[in-house]
Amino acid sequence: MCLFLPDSFMSFSHRFSPIKMSSQVRLRLLPSARCLFDDLLQVKVSGLRSRQVVALKASSTDDKGVEFRSSATYRADGLGELDLHRDPSLSGSYVGVEPMGLLWSMKADTLHQRFQKTNSLKPNVVRFSVHEVEGRGQGEGRTLAELVAERLMMADGVQRRPVKDGNVRGVLFTPPGPGPYPAVLDLYTFGGGLSEKRAALLAGRGFVVMTVALYGIDDMPKNISEIHLDYFEEAIEFLKKQDKVKRVGLTSLSKSGDLVLSIASFLPNIDATVWINGCSANTVFPLYYKKKQILSVLPFDVSKVVSTESGAFITKNAIPDPAAEENRASLIPIQQASGRFLFVASEDDNNWDSPAFVDEMTQRLRHHGKDNFEVLICRGSGHYLEPPYGPYCASSFHGFLGKPVVWGGQAKSHAAAEVQLWKKIQEFLRAHLSCDSTQEKAKL
């Protein structure tokens, strides 16, 4: 269901009503065409002929101006109705019963594009449409119905506040109500700038969340050559000073996975850490604390990068064994951490061997007599695990390699993994950060 969307929003409903192209056909999104990005939607069509075959389409333009599109062919039931929760796609961008298939199967016309949605103030606008299919599915006829939907990043009542405090640069999202709420430092992206999507969506589910930049915004450097743990310590202290905050956790993805491991291992009072497809050693830049280097960089072997026919590269085997003796200076001492870990690895991660890193970390923790971790292996999914119901990304530009890379996974299984993971993240953080028993359960 849509959270924090009061009846007052219904006054805007005329903006999102079906645009009828036929006097009979009606296209609907339930519970509403205006909802949160991570809300499960029910797509329904009525007014078709009995057993009529039609094409359903979706299109959306990302923050960079790139258009993503999908199309699937369906057959109406005897009453001339379609329900994507019930009816299978016969052909197109996906097949089978996939209620959100029109969204996760959207692709750009050009290769190596990732759907960029980083600005929380702008909703994801999606145009859905129904089209006639001419003789034996050989072509498309006229448009029967259209619907413009808005998928919000921020739930009603969530406050967004830019942060420029000391050295910290980021954005803070706070849910409505008195709190206290579990708090999260979200390291969603490691490249320059900010991505607000996951932070904003988590705030809509009852978390105080701050996402921070390391470089590339405001008065920060355009590029960096080293990372200082002091910056995250300062960010956490700022987060803890907020009125509705008592306990703090961390979320990550890819390179920021090793950053949250270091934060949890070297800094006190981190109660929960979500590591997603990261590394168990420090990568890319040396890590400093109190002006002293505490971790060196795990080397990257360019000679083991594999090219593909699409022009994208596979980097999975370019990272050596972090536990090897020659790499010990980069290995993060997670056995020092007092909080809980959620290790999430995609089985088909082509960026690097995330499942192997999970094996190394869990064995090391057990060796030290610790069981403060949970593991989730996502079958058939690739590297970029994001909040659910966005377009699957098969390959895109890699900021550090400077070339497009293959992320791995299959669209259908990757989309299912994102739904499972989103629920698990909320449950894990709430279980280990919640301040009282009144917090709402994870919702999709």
398 is catalytic: no
| Class of the domain covering 159-433 | alpha beta
Question: pTM above the 0.85 mark?
Answer: yes
pLDDT digit string (tens) for 34-74?
999 999 999 999 999 999 999 999 999 999 999 999 999 99
Bridge partner residues of 20 (DSSP): 145
User: If we measure between CA atoms, which residue out of 372, 265, 352 comes closest to residue 305?
Assistant: 352
Which tokens go with 200?
A: 């904003």
pLDDT digit string (tens) for 286-334?
999 999 999 999 999 999 999 999 999 999 999 999 999 999 999 999 9
Residue type at position 427: E
Q: How many angstroms separate the CA atoms of 421 and 419, rounded?
A: 6
Q: One of 112, 228, 383, 398 is an active-site residue; which one?
A: 383
Residue 378 makes CB contacts below 8 A (sequence gap 6+) with: 344, 345, 346, 347, 385, 414, 417, 420, 421
User: What's the whole-number mean pLDDT along residues 339-355?
Assistant: 98
Continuous H helices in 90-228: 101-104, 197-204
**Is residue 8 packed enough to be buried (19+ CB in 10 Å), middle (13-18) or exposed (0-12)?**
exposed
349 is catalytic: yes
Residue type at position 129: S
Q: What length is written for the chain?
A: 444
User: What's the whole-number mean pLDDT along residues 403-422?
Assistant: 98
383 is catalytic: yes
The residue extents of the domains of the chain are 26-152, 159-433
DSSP state letters, 79-96: TS-EETTTSPB-EES--B
User: What's the whole-number mean pLDDT along residues 2-30?
Assistant: 55
pLDDT digit string (tens) for 88-105?
999 999 999 999 999 999
Residue type at position 170: G
What CATH number labels 26-152? Answer: 2.60.40.2240
Residue 401 has pLDDT above 60, yes or no: yes
Q: One of 38, 348, 349, 353 is an active-site residue; which one?
A: 349
Q: One of 105, 195, 254, 262 is an active-site residue; which one?
A: 254
